[in-house]
Amino acid sequence: MTALHNDGQKAAPAAYREPEGDKRTKGDNGNTEATKNNRPHSTRSIAFCGMFTAVAIVMGYIESFIVIPGLLPGMKLGLANCVILFVLMGYGFGSAALVSLVRIIVVNSLFGNMTAAVFSLVGAALSILVMSLLKKSGRFSMVGISLAGGVAHNLGQVLAAMIIFENVGMFCYFPALIVTGIAAGVFVGILAGLVYAKVQRHL
């Protein structure tokens, strides 16, 4: 009912206020919808990263049988970086680092040794860091990013060897490893670029 003033005139009706419960309901519904919309993407990302980890492990296993004359025992060319580069471009630094870490742990636990694990960890860490920085700059193609990552991977392995064997002379391996790093980097970059162009819209 509309209240009356003392002079008999009707007072203006109070402004309508939406019940607090309704506001909460709408807000909750909005948050619920946003959460529902995010769940498929998050689940799909986890599934893809799991699949890429499995592929990286297989590639790491195959690479363990490839022996290149002139490389120290335990050193790898880093062909599994094809998967790491793909994950880096599609999902970012954190996912790429996680996939790389799991791959190194599994492959070296089953088919390698502690020395090979250290080489791989240092090489992969430096490689991912360099590739991530170049990606953020936006000035390099995928082949350029991969090439730099390949060289950084081999540099990391040489630095690890210098520390483990306490021999600065190990650095003499680096010039030769630059060549293999460039070759592997270009190959990995082209391969990863072709695959990424095909499946980018599904990521």
By three-state DSSP, how is residue 173 classified? helix
- Tell me how far apart the alpha carbons of residues 188 and 34 are, in angstroms, rounded to a whole number: 38
> What digits encode the pLDDT tens for the residues 16-54?
444 444 444 444 444 444 443 444 457 877 888 888 899
Per residue in 98-148, pLDDT (tens digit) is 999 998 888 888 877 788 888 889 999 999 999 999 999 999 999 999 999
Amino acid identity for residue 84 in this structure? I
Q: Return the CATH number of 23-202, one of 3.40.47.10, 3.30.360.10, 1.10.1760.20, 3.40.50.720.
A: 1.10.1760.20
Say if pTM beats, i.e. exceeds, 0.85: no
Contacts 24+ apart (CB under 8 A), 94-97: 95/45, 95/49, 96/128, 96/132, 97/125, 97/128
Contact between residue 189 and residue 140 where contact means Cβ atoms under 8 Å apart: no
**What's the average model confidence in pLDDT over 164-185?**
85
pLDDT of 176: 81
Which DSSP symbol is given to 71?
S
Q: Where are the domains of the chain?
A: 23-202
Whole-angstrom distance, CA of residue 110 vs CA of residue 107: 5
Q: What is the C-alpha to C-alpha distance for residues 37 and 127, in angstroms, rounded to an integer?
A: 34
**Predicted local distance difference test score (pLDDT) of residue 26:** 42
